[in-house]
């Protein structure tokens, strides 16, 4: 027993010893940990959130867990972030909270704001005190990063999301979309980015509807009813969850979630789909959405499990929001701050310098941070793999990431594809990069659209009224285009424009129910086509059909189809013939007539001078000697009438007459051509002056066109409504209350000319217009379909039938108008032929100089002598040529130079060439001189035959 007690006592002491040892060891370790924690550098960071909201509560828990997770994974770090969270459920509370954090807590960075209305004050204050303002919710910024460098967004920019949306719309081939957005700064900036992205892919932004967050359901219903009256069926929703949920619930009740509609939500809604209630999710069935893609990982799954446990342990009465990408961005934001702070402090051997200078200009005595600029710089360099993906800031915002495309189906959602900045639309996401950018939605999985439809909505439809309201003008004039009568078979108005419209409807790839609505305002004397077109934006008409001219000022409030009838503005005048008894004089102007007469007289004098030296030898025996001087005077004229007669003998006279004939031939051809033009082309010299009045069509754009484009005084314009009114006014003339000219479009003027062809004509240039087309609301998708159908009709075989039905047999829009338009001619002047007269005058002067002056004759003879001598010298060098005469067996050889010497005497009557090559005058006159000598004369005088042969070798 004693032994047993001893053993028990020993065990007791051992247990006490172990207990005391563990107590001592625990206190020593605790003291060590406390000492280590006290040696850490504490960096205070502020956060301004609405902790009473699901979003703020979720984000605050994520940031708290981020600090705990980061320093648990890095216990040896020498810095510790200290998070100071402030609750702010209004803009005023948020502004006060940020001031308190800067003044009382000396924070070096602030996470916030949570809503866009707080951004302006936060960013201005952060810029002033050099403290980074870091937002995990802001998707846009009012100022560029260079001007607001202390505002950092740890979210991707909305411009990337807008580009993704535009690519998806292009892939679905939607011609236009409408945007419903929350009326905030973020919402307005988002619409601006979407509009720019849509323009790049040539998709129209039909209209935009802004809605306040506090809007009542009645206001939402009013805006939704407007959507049923629109043709656009593609709607983009960019709102906060509370407003967006109410919108879709009401939209389903209005029938806007039925087949044919397409709804696309941005990440402002799609990121919170997991937090929707059952009724809201059912109302959004068939909706397509995009949101930033978060790749799955073990760290993310572990964090989600721990986050759910912590959220459940928080005994809060607020509604619980499921974890989404905004919570992950908040988590990564705190992690990035912890990494940046550690990088700054680890580079210094001393504690972080947190001293600040006082800003005396601020009544709250805020301090300028010396740590904030270094924190901002290091934060921009931070790059790591976070829960939301790669964390890297570029230009003060998160680097663009991949978006996933989801489809709301039943009570869940389905990922149908992805969009990446460099690859476009893809079916499966992978890290393998491809250079080809895809816009094809065929890469996507099958999509369930609203109304449980699997057919892609075409993006537009006829309004809910069920019929296309077609407005047509009601006017009395030019009924060939829009008639006043109704066709019994179809109960439609008649006319060319109506027939074209009906033919286009048959070509459209879809059926269209329509009803014609007459514009009754045509009874108003001030009515015009522009008044009718202004009713399209007011939703009184869906389309206007008629002889509507496509004109630039009208295109500001309506869209036009391609023209179904080409047009232009022309001038019509009376067809007056300018013929009279002196018309033969008009081809040449008076100065040219005078020049021709004077040249004939001068040419006769010149020929008389040149011919006075010619002797009687060679004179036509039928012509008397005393008649030769008179003939010389008339040679320029008589040579034209008697070209076979030998009028002149002098070689220089012949030269002059040759050039004169050349000039006369040109003048005669020009005269004939111009006279033909005068006799065949109608002439009218028309000019606008105070004595003239010009007619134009009533109620059209012509009056404004003439005043603004052609600068014609309004007081000189008179309006008419039909072809007959035009004709009556032109018959009266300006002096009798009518007009002298008409300015109107070609289609109307062709009708006038077809009816009164011999009385009027088109003159001057054609001023181009856009032609006749159909008018639609701005951005209407029907424009492209009608334009394609118009091409099929106007270029088809039925076009001629429609024209002749309304305009009469033989009529065609392809009939050219050039033959009807006058090309005015004018008299030819001396200026056009001045060079010709100069050439003839120069030749005449040269002839007179060479023939009638001693110097000229000597130069001429000497030149001729040397030319002949050079020619015969070159010939005799290769072929020795001579003339041998045989007389009784004896031969007499005459050299070439002797014969040439005798022949050269014939160059000038009364002169011979001596041995020096100089012409000498024979005293006894031309009849007493030697005749021109040739080889035949020599043979005859000597009585011997001449045999001219080449020398032969013996």
Write the pLDDT tens digit of every residue in 455-472. Answer: 999 887 776 556 788 999
pLDDT tens per residue across span 896-915: 444 444 444 444 443 444 44
* Per-residue pLDDT band at 599 (split at 50, 70, 90): confident
pLDDT at position 540 is 83
Query: Mean pLDDT lowest for which of 33-47, 261-275, 652-666, 935-949?
Result: 935-949
pLDDT at position 290 is 95
pLDDT tens per residue across span 168-212: 999 998 888 999 999 988 888 899 999 999 999 988 888 899 999
pLDDT at position 415 is 93
Query: Mean pLDDT lowest for which of 6-10, 548-552, 726-730?
Result: 6-10
Average pLDDT over residues 77-104: 90
pLDDT at position 937 is 42
Residue 543 has pLDDT above 80, yes or no: yes
Residue 677 has pLDDT above 80, yes or no: no
Give me the percent of the chain exceeding a pLDDT of 90. Answer: 25
Comparing 576 with 869, which gets the higher pLDDT? 869
pLDDT at position 907 is 41
Give SS3 for 202: coil
pLDDT tens per residue across span 512-527: 888 888 886 545 667 7
Give me the percent of the chain exceeding a pLDDT of 70. Answer: 74
Average pLDDT over residues 297-317: 82
* Per-residue pLDDT band at 700 (split at 50, 70, 90): confident
Residue 565 has pLDDT above 70, yes or no: yes
Beta-carbon contacts of residue 625 (< 8 Å; ≥ 6 apart): 616, 619
Beta-carbon contacts of residue 647 (< 8 Å; ≥ 6 apart): 631, 632, 635, 638, 639, 657
pLDDT at position 7 is 52
Average pLDDT over residues 921-937: 39
Comparing 620 with 236, which gets the higher pLDDT? 236
pLDDT tens per residue across span 53-90: 888 888 999 999 999 999 999 999 989 999 999 998 88
Cα–Cα nearest to 230, from 252, 206, 247, 251: 206
* Alpha-carbon gap, residue 145 to 141, rounded angstroms: 8
pLDDT at position 362 is 45
The distance between the two most distant Cα atoms of the chain, rounded to a whole number of Å, is 201
Buried/exposed code over 660-691 (b: 16+ C-beta within 10 A; e: otherwise): beebbeebeebbeebbeebeeebbbebeeeee
pLDDT at position 274 is 84
Average pLDDT over residues 692-721: 88
pLDDT tens per residue across span 707-740: 888 888 888 899 998 889 999 999 888 888 899 8
Query: What CA–CA distances, in Å, run from 900 to 267, 856, 885, 904, 907?
Result: 114, 22, 17, 6, 11
Are 141 and 153 within 8 A, CB to CB?
Answer: yes
Comparing 258 with 353, which gets the higher pLDDT? 258
Comparing 531 with 757, which gets the higher pLDDT? 531
Number of helical H runs and strand E runs in the chain: 27, 36
Comparing 394 with 678, which gets the higher pLDDT? 394
pLDDT at position 863 is 80
Beta-carbon contacts of residue 74 (< 8 Å; ≥ 6 apart): 342
What is the residue-averaged pLDDT of the chain?
77
pLDDT at position 712 is 87
pLDDT at position 579 is 56
Average pLDDT over residues 821-843: 70
Query: What CA–CA distances, in Å, run from 232 to 7, 207, 249, 455, 459?
Result: 96, 9, 20, 17, 6
**pTM of the shown model:** 0.59
Are 765 and 817 within 8 A, CB to CB?
Answer: no
Are 737 and 566 within 8 A, CB to CB?
Answer: no
pLDDT tens per residue across span 319-362: 567 889 999 999 999 999 999 999 887 655 343 444 444 444 44
* Alpha-carbon gap, residue 952 to 678, rounded angstroms: 72
Query: For 823, which DSSP code?
Result: -
pLDDT at position 278 is 85
């Amino acid at each position: 027993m004693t032994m047993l007690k001893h053993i028990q006592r020993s065990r007791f002491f051992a247990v006490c010893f172990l207990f005391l040892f563990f107590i001592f060891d625990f206190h020593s370790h605790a003291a060590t940990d406390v000492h280590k924690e006290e040696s850490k550098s504490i960096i205070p960071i502020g956060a301004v959130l609405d902790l009473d909201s699901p979003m703020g509560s979720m984000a605050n828990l994520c940031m708290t867990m981020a600090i705990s997770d980061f320093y648990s994974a890095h216990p040896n770090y020498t810095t510790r972030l200290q998070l100071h969270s402030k609750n702010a459920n209004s803009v005023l509370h948020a502004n006060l909270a940020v001031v308190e954090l800067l003044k009382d807590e000396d924070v070096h960075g602030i996470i916030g704001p949570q809503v866009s209305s707080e951004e302006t004050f936060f960013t201005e204050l952060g810029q002033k005190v050099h403290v980074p303002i870091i937002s995990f919710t802001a998707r846009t910024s009012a100022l560029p990063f260079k001007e607001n460098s202390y505002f950092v967004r740890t979210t991707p920019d909305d411009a990337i999301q807008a580009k993704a949306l535009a690519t998806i719309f292009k892939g679905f081939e939607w011609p236009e979309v409408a945007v419903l957005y929350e009326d905030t700064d973020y919402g307005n900036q988002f619409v601006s980015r979407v509009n720019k992205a849509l323009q790049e892919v040539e998709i129209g932004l039909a209209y935009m509807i802004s809605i306040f967050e506090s809007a009542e359901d009645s206001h939402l219903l009013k805006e939704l009813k407007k959507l049923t009256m629109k043709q656009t069926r593609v709607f983009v929703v960019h709102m906060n969850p509370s407003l967006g949920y109410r919108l879709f619930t009401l939209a389903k009740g209005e029938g806007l979630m039925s087949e044919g509609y397409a709804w696309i939500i941005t990440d402002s809604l799609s990121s919170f789909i997991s937090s929707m209630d059952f009724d809201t999710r059912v109302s959004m069935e068939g909706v397509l959405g995009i949101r930033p893609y978060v790749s799955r990982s073990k760290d993310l799954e572990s964090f989600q499990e721990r986050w759910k446990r912590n959220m459940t342990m928080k005994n809060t009465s607020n509604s619980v929001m499921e974890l989404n990408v905004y919570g992950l961005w908040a988590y990564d934001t705190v992690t990035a701050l912890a990494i940046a702070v550690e990088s700054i402090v680890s580079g210094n051997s001393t504690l972080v310098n947190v001293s600040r200078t006082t800003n005396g200009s601020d009544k709250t005595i805020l301090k300028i941070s010396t740590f904030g600029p270094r924190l901002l710089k290091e934060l921009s360099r931070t790059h790591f793999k976070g829960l939301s993906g790669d964390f890297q800031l570029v230009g003060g915002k998160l680097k663009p990431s991949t978006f996933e495309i989801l489809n709301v189906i039943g009570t869940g959602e389905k990922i149908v594809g992805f969009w990446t900045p460099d690859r476009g639309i893809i079916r499966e996401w992978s890290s393998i990069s491809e250079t080809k950018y895809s816009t094809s939605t065929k890469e996507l999985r099958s999509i369930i659209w609203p109304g449980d439809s699997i057919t892609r909505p075409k993006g537009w439809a006829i309004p809910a009224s069920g019929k296309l309201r077609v407005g047509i003008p009601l006017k009395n004039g030019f009924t060939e285009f829009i008639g006043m009568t109704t066709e019994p078979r179809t109960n439609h108005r008649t006319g060319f424009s109506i027939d074209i419209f009906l033919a286009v409807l048959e070509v459209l790839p879809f059926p269209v129910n329509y009803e014609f609505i007459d514009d009754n305002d045509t009874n108003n004397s001030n009515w015009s086509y522009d008044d009718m077109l202004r009713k399209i934006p007011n939703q009184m008409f869906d389309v206007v059909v008629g002889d509507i001219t496509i004109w630039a000022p009208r295109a500001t409030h309506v869209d036009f189809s391609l023209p179904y009838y080409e047009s232009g503005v022309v001038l019509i005048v009376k067809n007056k013939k300018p013929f009279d008894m002196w018309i033969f004089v008009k081809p040449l102007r008076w100065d040219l007539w005078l020049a021709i007469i004077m040249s004939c007289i001068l040419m006769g004098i010149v020929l008389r001078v040149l011919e006075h030296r010619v002797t009687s030898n060679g004179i036509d025996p039928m012509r008397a000697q005393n008649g030769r001087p008179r003939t010389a005077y008339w040679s320029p004229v008589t040579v034209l009438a008697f070209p076979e007669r030998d009028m002149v003998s002098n070689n220089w006279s012949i030269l002059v007459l040759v050039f004169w004939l050349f000039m006369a031939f040109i003048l005669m051809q020009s005269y004939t051509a111009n006279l033909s033009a005068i006799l065949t082309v109608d002439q009218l010299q028309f000019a606008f002056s105070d004595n003239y009045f010009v007619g134009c069509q009533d109620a059209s754009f012509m009056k404004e066109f003439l005043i603004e484009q052609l600068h014609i005084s309004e007081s000189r314009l008179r309006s008419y409504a039909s072809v007959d009114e035009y004709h009556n006014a032109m018959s009266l003339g300006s002096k009798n209350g009518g007009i002298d000219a008409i300015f109107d479009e070609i289609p109307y003027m062709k009708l006038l000319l077809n009816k009164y062809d011999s009385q009027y004509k088109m003159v001057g240039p054609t001023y181009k217009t856009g032609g006749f087309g159909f008018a639609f609301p701005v951005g209407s998708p029907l424009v492209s379909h009608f334009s394609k159908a118009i091409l099929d009709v106007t270029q088809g075989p039925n076009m001629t039938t429609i024209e002749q039905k309304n305009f009469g047999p033989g009529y065609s829009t392809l009939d050219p108008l050039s033959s009807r338009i006058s090309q005015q001619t004018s008299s030819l002047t001396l200026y056009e032929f001045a060079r010709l007269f100069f050439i003839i005058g120069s030749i005449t002067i040269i002839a007179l100089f060479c023939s009638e002056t001693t110097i000229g004759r000597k130069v001429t003879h000497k030149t001729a002598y040397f030319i002949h001598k050079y020619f015969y010298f070159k010939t005799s060098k290769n072929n020795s040529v001579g003339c041998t005469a045989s007389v009784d067996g004896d031969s007499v050889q005459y050299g070439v130079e002797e014969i040439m010497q005798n022949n050269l005497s014939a160059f000038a009557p009364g002169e011979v060439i001596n041995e020096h090559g100089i012409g000498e005058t024979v005293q006894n006159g031309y009849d007493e001189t030697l005749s021109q000598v040739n080889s035949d004369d020599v043979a005859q005088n000597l009585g011997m035959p001449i045999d001219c042969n080449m020398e032969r070798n013996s």
